[in-house]
A = this chain, B = another copy of it.
Amino acid sequence: MRYLVRTSYNGAGFNGFQYQMEGRTVQGEIEKILQRMHKVPVRIHPAGRTDSGVHAREQYFHFDTDLNIPEPKWQHALNSAMPGDIAIHEVRRISPDYHIRHHSEGKAYRYRIYQGDIRDPFEKGLKTYYPYPLDEDRMREAMQHFVGTHDFTSFSSAKSPIENKVRHIYRFDLIRTENGYDFLIIGSGFLYNMVRILVAYVLEVGQGRWEASRTPQIIEAKDRTLVPKTAPAEGLYLERVFLDEASRNQALEKYNLIH
């Protein structure tokens, strides 16, 4: 039987999602619990990995099991064993030929910064501190240039082995918060480090280091060296994974995706 699990986690205490020999990872913690229940190793398959320090408000994974636990009991069974920084929101049985990597219809990411004269100890690990003055209009102008279908070579890690760097961005919004800004981006898919590079670039535009109107040229150049910065991991949240077009379209209609 294959089960699909909706989870969230606070990335501050993890060396990323993917299992490693050394260091605490989300996959490692979850597989340890499944192994304890099954007495044999159980592999989980996520919608996507997240890097060290990156959070997920919504992430999916699936796993196969022979355990005779009724579907409605799984959530509690898993939650009662999970550490405090991973939560299980839903567990449902799916077809044994379903594979999340092939069925998801895009993702939403949120990047959170806060401003102010000094660092806030209670934002540590949760938002990126960015004390420099920002021009909202310039940022919004730059962000709109990314909406649509583009080759994101200039805005992805040069280390990525993926050859096709064309992706579709549905929305890229700037949201004023209590003490800073959230950047919310919805796309068909994202290249390695792409959100963190886009945000680093938009912040530099907001500071006046780049002209927003030059953005199309930088995209066109397909040259990663033009945009050398990557925003820190601690501000990044995987916000939604869209399992079908309907849920993606619904999200696109709403301004604020927090649910």
Contacts and interface: CB of A to CB of B under 8 A. Distances in A.
A126 B84 CA distance: 11
A125 to B, nearest CB: 8
Contact of A119 (B75, B87, B120, B122): B87
A121 B88 CA distance: 10
B121 A84 contact: yes
A46 to B, nearest CB: 16
A155 interface: no
Nearest to A120: B87
A86 B121 contact: yes
Nearest to A55: B122
Interface residues of A, number: 22
Interface of A: 8-10, 13, 55, 75, 79, 82, 84-89, 118-122, 124, 126, 129
A73 to B, nearest CB: 14
Among all A-B residue pairs, the 6 with the closest Cβ atoms: A10-B121, A84-B124, A85-B121, A85-B124, A87-B118, A9-B121
Nearest to A8: B121
Between A10, A87, A119, A121, the greatest number of chain B beta carbons within 10 A of the residue's beta carbon is seen for A121
A82 B88 CA distance: 36
A129 B118 CA distance: 29
A118 B89 CA distance: 8
Contacts of A9: 121
Contacts of A55: 122
A79 B124 contact: no
A132 B75 CA distance: 19
B84 A119 contact: yes
A129 B129 CA distance: 27
26 contacts: A8-B121, A8-B122, A9-B121, A10-B121, A10-B122, A10-B124, A13-B124, A55-B122, A75-B118, A79-B118, A79-B119, A82-B119, A84-B119, A84-B121, A84-B124, A84-B129, A85-B121, A85-B124, A86-B121, A87-B118, A87-B119, A87-B120, A87-B121, A88-B118, A89-B118, A122-B126
